[in-house]
Structure 1
Amino acid sequence: MKVESEIIQAKENRTLMEVVNKSIRKTIRSINYINEKMYIVIGVIIVFLSFMIFYDVLARYFFHKPTSFGFDTSIWLTVVMAFVGGGYSQLKNEHVRVDIFYEKFSDKGKSIVDLFTHLFIFLTVIPLVWWGGSHVLKLFEQGTVATSGLNISLWIKFLIVPFGGTLLGLQAFVTFYKDIYLIVTGRKYEEDK
């Protein structure tokens, strides 16, 4: 009787762990997918910026009629690329580090070092999302509009700060999970394809 109840309990625990594991894998795939597609957003912005700046230069120097939005838009879109690129860089493991030392570590050693790196990423991301989000809400409530360039609501322009912070934070969490997985199990986290 006791053995049967232990077997049933073990099966229930295994089933629960399988469900949790499946949910974690699905979440990781979703976060990776979103950040993977950000390079398309960045590419489209680069193409748009190229044409816009080309047009603005032509309009300014040949027709003496520069666009009113060119300068403001180019700065804003550059900021968008930087914030959207944070999560993508984390996904591809392309953030700056001192590789001369890092490359000499074992996979487990790299994961331990990366855990400390993630703490700094989280310390950066939390204010970006928290204060950036509260600033966006304040601008939205005030109805503040930009006085130069596009003349759009400022909350739209500043929305990229919490959005980019969220992308980076989620991707850092995924990497953090993978590092913990490697440290605990001794194996790299294998993603489902």
Structure 2
Amino acid sequence: MRRYVAIIDAINYRLGRVVMYGIFAIIAILLWSSISKTFFLPSLWTLEMAQFAMVAYYMLGGPYAMQMGANVRMDLFYHRWSDRRKAWFDAFTVLFLMFYLGVLLYGAMDSASYALEYNERSNTVWRPYMWPIKLVVVLGVTLMLLQAISEFFKDVARLRGVTL
């Protein structure tokens, strides 16, 4: 468990630290979109590219946010609980998250395989291939699932009085 947690946490930490600077790419794309619409002929690719960049930013940054505890919690009672009770609750609820991510991964893989098999393209004027962003979604969901398993292992370790 220690090795798994160390490897997955290291991968998601490093990738998250790199992906967090993707917001500047999104800003640059949207800035170019505004400038081109104001002063030149509008660029056809900018808004869809900004959407793709935002999907990549969100999907690849999610595991890092989970690892850092930056996700939003409904904290009506949780803050008053003991660390042991929090670990029990977290270990139980992360099972639902893992089920959801498993279903999401199944759908993402099916969608990505369809996009690869049939060279699916967007229905916009720019018509980019869809498989690159769908593969990013598959990678992001896979990393999120691996991070959820890592968090489960950390919760189990906390229940046993061990720090991972």
Q: Same fold (TM over 0.5)?
A: yes
Preserved CA contact (<8 Å) 1:128 1:165: yes
Please state how far the C-alpha of 1:146 moved relative to its aligned partner.
2.4
Matched, 1:105 2:81: yes
Matched residues in 2 for 1:44 and 1:67: separation?
24
RMSD across aligned C-alpha pairs, in angstroms? 1.7
SS across alignment from 2:80: coil
Matched, 1:165 2:145: no
Preserved CA contact (<8 Å) 2:5 2:153: no
Matched, 1:55 2:55: no
Q: Which residue matches 1:189?
A: 163
Amino acid at match of 1:50: I
Q: Which residue matches 1:141?
A: 117
Unaligned regions of 5+ residues in structure 2, if any?
none
Q: Which residue matches 1:15?
A: none
Matched residues in 2 for 1:137 and 1:154: separation?
11
Preserved CA contact (<8 Å) 1:83 1:161: yes
Matched residues in 1 for 2:111 and 2:81: separation?
41
Matched residues in 1 for 2:126 and 2:84: separation?
50
TM-score, normalised by the number of residues in structure 2: 0.90
Matched, 1:176 2:158: no
Taking only the aligned residue pairs, the percentage that are identical comes to 24
TM-score, normalised by the number of residues in structure 1: 0.78
Structure with bigger RCO (C-alpha 8 Å, 6+ apart): 2
Q: How many residues align?
A: 164
Q: Which residue matches 1:13?
A: none
Matched residues in 2 for 1:69 and 1:41: separation?
24
Matched, 1:94 2:59: no
Matched residues in 2 for 1:25 and 1:141: separation?
39
